[in-house]
Structure 1
Amino acid sequence: MRHLLKVTLLAIILSTSVSTFAQTLKFGHIDSNKLLSIMPEKEEAQKQIQAAAAEYDTQIKAMREEAQTLISSYLEQKDALAEAVRADKEKEIQNLQTRMQEFDGFAQQALQKKQNELLKPIFDKASAAIKAVGAENGFTYVFDISTGVILFNSNNSVDIMPLVKTKLGIQ
Protein backbone atom coordinates (compact mmCIF):
# COMPACT_ATOMS: atom_id res chain seq x y z
CA MET A 1 0.00 0.00 0.00
CA ARG A 2 2.83 2.38 0.90
CA HIS A 3 4.53 1.51 -2.38
CA LEU A 4 1.36 2.38 -4.33
CA LEU A 5 1.14 5.71 -2.52
CA LYS A 6 4.78 6.53 -3.37
CA VAL A 7 4.26 5.63 -7.03
CA THR A 8 1.09 7.74 -7.20
CA LEU A 9 2.82 10.74 -5.59
CA LEU A 10 5.77 10.40 -7.94
CA ALA A 11 3.43 10.25 -10.94
CA ILE A 12 1.61 13.39 -9.78
CA ILE A 13 4.88 15.26 -9.23
CA LEU A 14 6.25 14.23 -12.63
CA SER A 15 3.06 15.11 -14.52
CA THR A 16 2.89 18.49 -12.75
CA SER A 17 6.52 19.29 -13.54
CA VAL A 18 6.13 18.13 -17.16
CA SER A 19 3.07 20.33 -17.72
CA THR A 20 4.82 23.27 -16.06
CA PHE A 21 7.88 22.67 -18.25
CA ALA A 22 5.77 22.40 -21.40
CA GLN A 23 4.09 25.74 -20.65
CA THR A 24 7.44 27.56 -20.53
CA LEU A 25 8.62 26.45 -23.98
CA LYS A 26 8.56 29.12 -26.67
CA PHE A 27 9.16 28.18 -30.28
CA GLY A 28 10.11 30.35 -33.22
CA HIS A 29 10.81 29.71 -36.85
CA ILE A 30 12.48 31.49 -39.74
CA ASP A 31 13.19 30.85 -43.39
CA SER A 32 16.94 31.48 -43.43
CA ASN A 33 17.15 31.27 -47.24
CA LYS A 34 14.60 34.06 -47.53
CA LEU A 35 16.46 36.11 -44.92
CA LEU A 36 19.76 35.69 -46.74
CA SER A 37 18.17 36.62 -50.06
CA ILE A 38 17.02 40.01 -48.72
CA MET A 39 20.27 40.94 -47.03
CA PRO A 40 21.93 43.76 -49.01
CA GLU A 41 25.39 42.30 -48.42
CA LYS A 42 24.45 39.14 -50.31
CA GLU A 43 23.61 41.07 -53.46
CA GLU A 44 27.03 42.76 -53.43
CA ALA A 45 28.77 39.42 -52.81
CA GLN A 46 26.85 37.83 -55.71
CA LYS A 47 27.99 40.66 -58.01
CA GLN A 48 31.62 40.06 -57.06
CA ILE A 49 31.27 36.30 -57.57
CA GLN A 50 29.63 36.82 -60.97
CA ALA A 51 32.39 39.25 -61.99
CA ALA A 52 35.06 36.69 -61.09
CA ALA A 53 33.15 33.97 -62.97
CA ALA A 54 32.90 36.20 -66.04
CA GLU A 55 36.66 36.80 -65.91
CA TYR A 56 37.36 33.05 -65.82
CA ASP A 57 34.84 32.45 -68.63
CA THR A 58 36.62 35.00 -70.81
CA GLN A 59 39.92 33.22 -70.25
CA ILE A 60 38.41 29.80 -71.01
CA LYS A 61 36.76 31.12 -74.19
CA ALA A 62 40.11 32.52 -75.35
CA MET A 63 41.75 29.15 -74.71
CA ARG A 64 38.97 27.38 -76.67
CA GLU A 65 39.42 29.72 -79.60
CA GLU A 66 43.16 29.11 -79.51
CA ALA A 67 42.52 25.36 -79.49
CA GLN A 68 40.07 25.62 -82.39
CA THR A 69 42.57 27.63 -84.42
CA LEU A 70 45.36 25.18 -83.62
CA ILE A 71 43.22 22.15 -84.49
CA SER A 72 41.93 23.71 -87.74
CA SER A 73 45.45 24.61 -88.81
CA TYR A 74 46.67 21.11 -87.97
CA LEU A 75 43.86 19.41 -89.91
CA GLU A 76 44.48 21.57 -92.99
CA GLN A 77 48.22 20.82 -93.02
CA LYS A 78 48.18 17.30 -91.57
CA ASP A 79 48.87 15.43 -94.81
CA ALA A 80 51.64 17.79 -95.90
CA LEU A 81 53.52 17.75 -92.58
CA ALA A 82 56.52 15.57 -91.85
CA GLU A 83 56.02 12.90 -89.21
CA ALA A 84 58.09 14.75 -86.57
CA VAL A 85 56.27 18.06 -87.17
CA ARG A 86 52.89 16.28 -87.08
CA ALA A 87 53.78 14.62 -83.76
CA ASP A 88 54.92 18.00 -82.38
CA LYS A 89 51.63 19.68 -83.43
CA GLU A 90 49.60 16.84 -81.88
CA LYS A 91 51.57 17.19 -78.66
CA GLU A 92 50.96 20.95 -78.71
CA ILE A 93 47.19 20.36 -79.07
CA GLN A 94 47.21 17.82 -76.23
CA ASN A 95 49.17 20.23 -74.00
CA LEU A 96 46.68 23.00 -74.68
CA GLN A 97 43.77 20.69 -73.87
CA THR A 98 45.49 19.67 -70.63
CA ARG A 99 46.06 23.33 -69.74
CA MET A 100 42.39 24.05 -70.41
CA GLN A 101 41.29 21.24 -68.10
CA GLU A 102 43.69 22.36 -65.38
CA PHE A 103 42.56 25.97 -65.71
CA ASP A 104 38.91 24.92 -65.54
CA GLY A 105 39.60 23.02 -62.29
CA PHE A 106 41.53 25.97 -60.91
CA ALA A 107 38.71 28.37 -61.84
CA GLN A 108 36.09 26.19 -60.14
CA GLN A 109 38.17 26.01 -56.95
CA ALA A 110 38.90 29.73 -57.00
CA LEU A 111 35.22 30.57 -57.45
CA GLN A 112 34.25 28.24 -54.61
CA LYS A 113 36.87 29.83 -52.36
CA LYS A 114 35.71 33.35 -53.26
CA GLN A 115 32.09 32.37 -52.65
CA ASN A 116 32.94 30.96 -49.22
CA GLU A 117 35.07 34.01 -48.44
CA LEU A 118 32.32 36.47 -49.34
CA LEU A 119 29.26 34.60 -48.06
CA LYS A 120 30.57 33.30 -44.72
CA PRO A 121 30.46 36.70 -42.99
CA ILE A 122 26.90 37.19 -44.27
CA PHE A 123 25.82 33.76 -42.95
CA ASP A 124 27.55 34.51 -39.66
CA LYS A 125 25.79 37.89 -39.37
CA ALA A 126 22.38 36.31 -40.06
CA SER A 127 23.08 33.52 -37.58
CA ALA A 128 24.17 35.99 -34.89
CA ALA A 129 21.01 38.06 -35.42
CA ILE A 130 18.80 34.96 -35.19
CA LYS A 131 20.53 33.88 -31.99
CA ALA A 132 20.27 37.37 -30.51
CA VAL A 133 16.55 37.61 -31.32
CA GLY A 134 16.00 34.15 -29.86
CA ALA A 135 17.78 35.05 -26.63
CA GLU A 136 16.19 38.51 -26.32
CA ASN A 137 12.68 37.14 -26.83
CA GLY A 138 13.03 34.04 -24.66
CA PHE A 139 12.67 31.42 -27.38
CA THR A 140 13.58 27.89 -26.36
CA TYR A 141 14.10 26.82 -29.96
CA VAL A 142 14.19 28.57 -33.31
CA PHE A 143 13.69 26.28 -36.29
CA ASP A 144 14.86 26.93 -39.83
CA ILE A 145 11.91 26.10 -42.07
CA SER A 146 13.95 26.49 -45.27
CA THR A 147 15.54 23.08 -44.74
CA GLY A 148 12.26 21.31 -45.36
CA VAL A 149 12.69 19.10 -42.30
CA ILE A 150 9.93 20.69 -40.19
CA LEU A 151 6.88 18.50 -40.56
CA PHE A 152 4.49 20.64 -38.56
CA ASN A 153 4.41 24.33 -37.72
CA SER A 154 1.70 25.33 -35.25
CA ASN A 155 0.31 28.77 -34.58
CA ASN A 156 2.20 28.72 -31.27
CA SER A 157 5.48 28.94 -33.19
CA VAL A 158 6.39 32.56 -33.86
CA ASP A 159 7.80 33.68 -37.21
CA ILE A 160 10.83 35.68 -36.10
CA MET A 161 11.63 37.05 -39.58
CA PRO A 162 10.32 40.57 -38.76
CA LEU A 163 12.34 40.65 -35.53
CA VAL A 164 15.54 39.51 -37.27
CA LYS A 165 15.01 41.98 -40.12
CA THR A 166 14.69 44.76 -37.55
CA LYS A 167 17.81 43.53 -35.78
CA LEU A 168 19.72 43.65 -39.07
CA GLY A 169 18.21 46.99 -40.10
CA ILE A 170 16.43 45.55 -43.15
CA GLN A 171 13.05 46.95 -44.24
Structure 2
Amino acid sequence: MRNFFSTIVFSILIFNFAPANTVQAQKIGHLDSEYVLEQMPEYDEKIKELEELASTYDKEVRSLYGEVEKMRAALRADEVLLTAAMKADRQKAIEAKEQEALKRYTELFGNDGLYYKKVDELVKPLREKVSLAAEAVAKRHGLDYILDKASSIGIIYSNPTHDYTEFVMEELGLKIERN
Protein backbone atom coordinates (compact mmCIF):
# COMPACT_ATOMS: atom_id res chain seq x y z
CA MET A 1 0.00 0.00 0.00
CA ARG A 2 2.92 2.34 0.73
CA ASN A 3 4.31 1.72 -2.75
CA PHE A 4 0.94 2.62 -4.24
CA PHE A 5 0.78 5.82 -2.18
CA SER A 6 4.40 6.66 -3.10
CA THR A 7 3.58 6.15 -6.77
CA ILE A 8 0.66 8.56 -6.51
CA VAL A 9 2.77 11.20 -4.74
CA PHE A 10 5.56 10.75 -7.30
CA SER A 11 3.05 11.09 -10.15
CA ILE A 12 1.64 14.26 -8.65
CA LEU A 13 5.14 15.73 -8.29
CA ILE A 14 5.99 14.90 -11.90
CA PHE A 15 2.71 16.41 -13.05
CA ASN A 16 3.40 19.63 -11.15
CA PHE A 17 7.01 20.10 -12.26
CA ALA A 18 7.15 18.63 -15.79
CA PRO A 19 7.03 20.92 -18.82
CA ALA A 20 3.48 21.54 -20.03
CA ASN A 21 4.00 19.89 -23.43
CA THR A 22 5.13 16.55 -21.90
CA VAL A 23 2.34 16.07 -19.38
CA GLN A 24 -0.82 14.11 -20.04
CA ALA A 25 -3.80 14.39 -17.75
CA GLN A 26 -4.32 11.43 -15.49
CA LYS A 27 -7.75 10.07 -14.81
CA ILE A 28 -8.39 8.95 -11.24
CA GLY A 29 -11.44 7.25 -9.81
CA HIS A 30 -12.30 5.80 -6.43
CA LEU A 31 -14.38 3.05 -4.91
CA ASP A 32 -15.46 1.88 -1.48
CA SER A 33 -14.18 -1.69 -1.22
CA GLU A 34 -15.76 -2.26 2.21
CA TYR A 35 -19.18 -1.40 0.81
CA VAL A 36 -18.59 -3.71 -2.15
CA LEU A 37 -17.51 -6.54 0.16
CA GLU A 38 -20.56 -6.04 2.36
CA GLN A 39 -22.79 -6.51 -0.70
CA MET A 40 -21.18 -9.87 -1.54
CA PRO A 41 -23.21 -12.81 -0.13
CA GLU A 42 -20.07 -14.90 0.34
CA TYR A 43 -18.57 -12.12 2.47
CA ASP A 44 -21.48 -12.41 4.94
CA GLU A 45 -20.85 -16.16 5.14
CA LYS A 46 -17.16 -15.60 5.86
CA ILE A 47 -17.93 -12.97 8.51
CA LYS A 48 -20.36 -15.32 10.26
CA GLU A 49 -17.73 -18.07 10.21
CA LEU A 50 -15.19 -15.65 11.68
CA GLU A 51 -17.63 -14.53 14.39
CA GLU A 52 -18.22 -18.16 15.40
CA LEU A 53 -14.48 -18.80 15.48
CA ALA A 54 -13.87 -15.65 17.54
CA SER A 55 -16.58 -16.73 19.97
CA THR A 56 -14.99 -20.18 20.36
CA TYR A 57 -11.55 -18.69 20.90
CA ASP A 58 -12.96 -16.12 23.33
CA LYS A 59 -14.63 -18.84 25.42
CA GLU A 60 -11.34 -20.74 25.60
CA VAL A 61 -9.42 -17.69 26.80
CA ARG A 62 -12.17 -16.66 29.25
CA SER A 63 -12.12 -20.18 30.67
CA LEU A 64 -8.39 -19.90 31.36
CA TYR A 65 -8.80 -16.50 33.01
CA GLY A 66 -11.75 -17.92 34.99
CA GLU A 67 -9.44 -20.60 36.36
CA VAL A 68 -7.00 -17.88 37.42
CA GLU A 69 -9.78 -16.08 39.30
CA LYS A 70 -10.86 -19.32 41.03
CA MET A 71 -7.26 -19.93 42.09
CA ARG A 72 -7.04 -16.37 43.48
CA ALA A 73 -10.33 -16.77 45.36
CA ALA A 74 -9.13 -20.07 46.84
CA LEU A 75 -5.87 -18.43 47.90
CA ARG A 76 -7.73 -15.57 49.61
CA ALA A 77 -10.01 -18.04 51.39
CA ASP A 78 -7.16 -20.27 52.59
CA GLU A 79 -4.56 -17.55 53.14
CA VAL A 80 -4.73 -17.55 56.95
CA LEU A 81 -4.21 -21.32 57.04
CA LEU A 82 -1.19 -21.40 54.71
CA THR A 83 2.47 -21.17 55.55
CA ALA A 84 4.57 -18.61 53.70
CA ALA A 85 6.02 -21.35 51.48
CA MET A 86 2.58 -22.77 50.66
CA LYS A 87 1.31 -19.27 49.88
CA ALA A 88 4.31 -18.63 47.61
CA ASP A 89 3.72 -21.94 45.79
CA ARG A 90 0.09 -21.05 45.13
CA GLN A 91 1.10 -17.58 44.02
CA LYS A 92 3.55 -19.12 41.53
CA ALA A 93 0.82 -21.47 40.26
CA ILE A 94 -1.50 -18.49 39.75
CA GLU A 95 1.19 -16.58 37.86
CA ALA A 96 1.91 -19.64 35.70
CA LYS A 97 -1.80 -19.98 34.86
CA GLU A 98 -1.95 -16.25 34.04
CA GLN A 99 1.03 -16.67 31.70
CA GLU A 100 -0.66 -19.66 30.07
CA ALA A 101 -3.85 -17.63 29.53
CA LEU A 102 -1.91 -14.68 28.11
CA LYS A 103 0.11 -16.96 25.83
CA ARG A 104 -3.06 -18.60 24.54
CA TYR A 105 -4.71 -15.23 24.00
CA THR A 106 -1.67 -14.10 21.97
CA GLU A 107 -1.66 -17.34 19.96
CA LEU A 108 -5.31 -16.85 19.10
CA PHE A 109 -5.78 -13.08 18.82
CA GLY A 110 -2.28 -11.58 18.55
CA ASN A 111 -1.07 -9.81 15.40
CA ASP A 112 0.06 -13.12 13.93
CA GLY A 113 -2.59 -15.17 15.76
CA LEU A 114 -4.78 -17.94 14.45
CA TYR A 115 -7.82 -15.68 14.22
CA TYR A 116 -6.11 -13.13 11.97
CA LYS A 117 -4.61 -15.88 9.84
CA LYS A 118 -8.14 -17.22 9.35
CA VAL A 119 -9.40 -13.72 8.48
CA ASP A 120 -6.69 -13.49 5.83
CA GLU A 121 -7.49 -16.97 4.54
CA LEU A 122 -11.23 -16.30 4.23
CA VAL A 123 -11.37 -12.64 3.16
CA LYS A 124 -8.24 -12.29 0.99
CA PRO A 125 -9.77 -14.15 -2.00
CA LEU A 126 -12.79 -11.83 -1.89
CA ARG A 127 -10.55 -8.74 -1.74
CA GLU A 128 -8.59 -10.08 -4.70
CA LYS A 129 -11.86 -10.58 -6.57
CA VAL A 130 -12.77 -6.92 -5.90
CA SER A 131 -9.29 -5.82 -7.01
CA LEU A 132 -9.58 -7.72 -10.29
CA ALA A 133 -13.01 -6.21 -10.91
CA ALA A 134 -11.63 -2.73 -10.12
CA GLU A 135 -8.79 -3.33 -12.58
CA ALA A 136 -11.28 -4.35 -15.29
CA VAL A 137 -13.36 -1.23 -14.60
CA ALA A 138 -10.25 0.98 -14.68
CA LYS A 139 -9.24 -0.42 -18.06
CA ARG A 140 -12.76 -0.13 -19.46
CA HIS A 141 -13.09 3.52 -18.33
CA GLY A 142 -9.52 4.56 -19.15
CA LEU A 143 -8.56 5.29 -15.54
CA ASP A 144 -4.95 5.64 -14.45
CA TYR A 145 -5.73 5.04 -10.78
CA ILE A 146 -8.60 3.88 -8.61
CA LEU A 147 -8.25 4.84 -4.98
CA ASP A 148 -10.02 2.92 -2.24
CA LYS A 149 -12.00 5.09 0.18
CA ALA A 150 -11.97 2.22 2.68
CA SER A 151 -8.16 1.89 2.79
CA SER A 152 -5.76 3.52 5.22
CA ILE A 153 -4.79 6.29 2.78
CA GLY A 154 -8.09 7.98 3.44
CA ILE A 155 -9.82 10.42 1.15
CA ILE A 156 -11.21 13.48 2.83
CA TYR A 157 -13.14 14.62 -0.22
CA SER A 158 -14.05 12.84 -3.39
CA ASN A 159 -16.15 14.01 -6.28
CA PRO A 160 -19.06 11.55 -6.60
CA THR A 161 -18.71 11.61 -10.38
CA HIS A 162 -15.44 9.71 -9.94
CA ASP A 163 -16.92 7.02 -7.68
CA TYR A 164 -16.59 3.70 -9.48
CA THR A 165 -17.97 1.53 -6.67
CA GLU A 166 -21.13 0.72 -8.62
CA PHE A 167 -19.16 -0.22 -11.74
CA VAL A 168 -17.07 -2.64 -9.66
CA MET A 169 -20.24 -4.10 -8.14
CA GLU A 170 -21.71 -4.44 -11.62
CA GLU A 171 -18.51 -6.19 -12.74
CA LEU A 172 -18.97 -8.65 -9.85
CA GLY A 173 -22.65 -9.11 -10.67
CA LEU A 174 -23.81 -7.64 -7.35
CA LYS A 175 -27.11 -5.87 -6.75
CA ILE A 176 -26.70 -2.10 -6.31
CA GLU A 177 -28.70 -0.65 -3.40
CA ARG A 178 -27.43 2.83 -2.56
CA ASN A 179 -29.33 5.24 -0.31
Call closer, same or farther: CA 1:90–1:50 in 2, change over 3 Å. Answer: same
Could you say which structure has the larger radius of gyration? 1
Deviation at 1:148, TM superposition (A): 3.2
Q: Which moved more, 1:67-76 or 1:146-155?
A: 146-155
Question: CA–CA distance in 1 between the matches of 2:131 and 2:124?
Answer: 10
Q: Which runs of 4+ in 1 moved over 3 A?
A: 14-18, 25-28, 145-148
Per the TM alignment, residue 54 of structure 1 is displaced from its structure 2 partner at its CA by 0.4
Corresponding position of 2:154: 148
For 2:80 and 2:21, the matched residues in 1 are separated by: 94
Paired position in structure 2 for 1:72: 73
CA distance in 2, matches of 1:126, 1:137: 16
How many Å separate the matches in 2 of 1:87 and 1:154?
Answer: 66
**TM-score normalised by L of structure 1:** 0.75
Aligned residue in 1 for 2:84 = 83
Greater relative contact order (Cα 8 A, min sep 6): structure 1 or 2?
1
Q: Which amino acid aligns with 1:165?
A: M
What amino acid is the match of 1:170?
Answer: L
After superposition, give the CA deviation of every residue in 1:43-91 in whole Å (9 maximum; x if it has no partner). Answer: 1121121111101111122112211211111111112123332222111
1:31 aligns with 2:37: no
How many aligned residue pairs are there?
152
Q: Percent identity?
A: 29
AA matched with 1:68: E
| TM-score normalised by the chain length of structure 2 | 0.72
CA gap 1:144/1:66 in 2 versus in 1, 3 angstroms: closer
More helix by share: 1
1:10-159 mapped onto 2 (5 Å cutoff):
21-22=24-25, 26-108=27-109, 109-146=113-150, 147-149=153-155, 151-153=157-159, 155=161, 157=162, 159=163
Rate the CA distance shift 1:93–1:143 in 2: closer, same or farther, 3 A.
closer
Structure 1: runs of 5+ lacking an equivalent: 1-13
State the AA in 1 paired with 2:154: G
Q: What SS does structure 2 have at the residue aligned with 1:170?
A: coil
* Structure 2 gaps, min length 5: 1-18
Q: Please state whether the residue corresponding to 1:139 is helix, strand or coil.
A: coil
